[in-house]
Amino acid sequence: MGLLVALDRPGGYEELVGKLCSRVDGFKLGLPLLMARGPGYAGLLRRRCRDALWVADLKLADIGYVMRLTAGLVAEHVDAVIAHGFVGVEGALGELKDYLDSLGKRLVVVASMSHPGAREAYDHALPRILETLERLRPWGVVAPATRPGVVGIVRRRLGPGVAIMSPGVGAQGAEPGSALCAGADYEIVGRAITGSGDPVEAAERIRREQEARLSNC
Ligand code: XMP
């Protein structure tokens, strides 16, 4: 059972990371934060919670050359980098994966997204993206907690060896634990924790709700 906290809003998170460190499994750093504070800020935060999983959510979607350059700016400070799945393997995700492998870092690929607009194009591309994921075999895949059926499809197709992380819990409406029951390893929660008056209590409550739902899957 996993919980990753999304840190998106530009701001200072040193104190929050310290407080949440023993209560969550990791942190996902969003582009607004990384652009505002610079890649080195990821390293500064990481020193507050070294054993957590640190993911840079760059949502890369470019040719391999540019994705390697972009990932290289932050890779030393994180464990994993997120890229979009629709760009394909040759000349894109394959090159990025080889590059991250050479650094001892992990690639996480978006299979589909959690917002309603994902139905317009992303969901139609899912069968092709699953073929890409089968060939590429990234360490992790992002699949939407708001549509647990998609999480289940990814898990069944890729098997137990891939780490599935699911955003959409809380602010986007999915219940804590719903994606875990569908086969995800981690649920990603942003505003429901970072926007709460008491983020520590919010994280602990979400943990309890995950446990409760998991015991009734
Ligand atoms: P909230 O505040 O809605 O934040 O809990 C959710 C976080 O997850 C990211 N997000 C996604 N990332 N595929 C992704 O790769 C998605 O479908 C998706 N939906 C949300 C969002 O950027 C934020 O950091």
Print the SS3 string covering 5-24.
EEECCCCCCHHHHHHHCCCC
Q: What is the pLDDT of residue 14?
A: 97
Q: Compute the distance between CA of residue 40 and CA of residue 52 in angstroms, rounded to an integer.
A: 17
Q: What is the mean pLDDT of residues 170-196?
A: 96
User: Residue 170: which of 150, 195, 187, 192 has the closest Cα?
Assistant: 192
Q: What ipTM is given for this predicted complex?
A: 0.95
> Residue 73 and residue 76: Cα distance in Å, rounded?
8
The pLDDT value recorded for residue 9 is 97
Question: Which of 110, 141, 188 has the most ligand 1 atoms within 8 A of CB, as the residue to mutate?
Answer: 188
With left for phi above 0 and alpha for psi between -120 and 50, is residue 90 left, alpha or beta? beta
- Taking all residues of the chain, what is their mean pLDDT, rounded to a whole number? 97
Q: Is residue 97 among the annotated active site residues? A: no
Residues with CB under 6 A from ligand 1: 6, 8, 28, 30, 57, 82, 110, 113-114, 142, 144, 167-168, 170-172, 188-192
Q: For residue range 90-143, what is the model confidence (pLDDT) as tens digits?
A: 999 999 999 999 999 999 999 999 899 999 999 999 999 999 999 999 999 999
Confidence check: pLDDT of 1 > 80: no
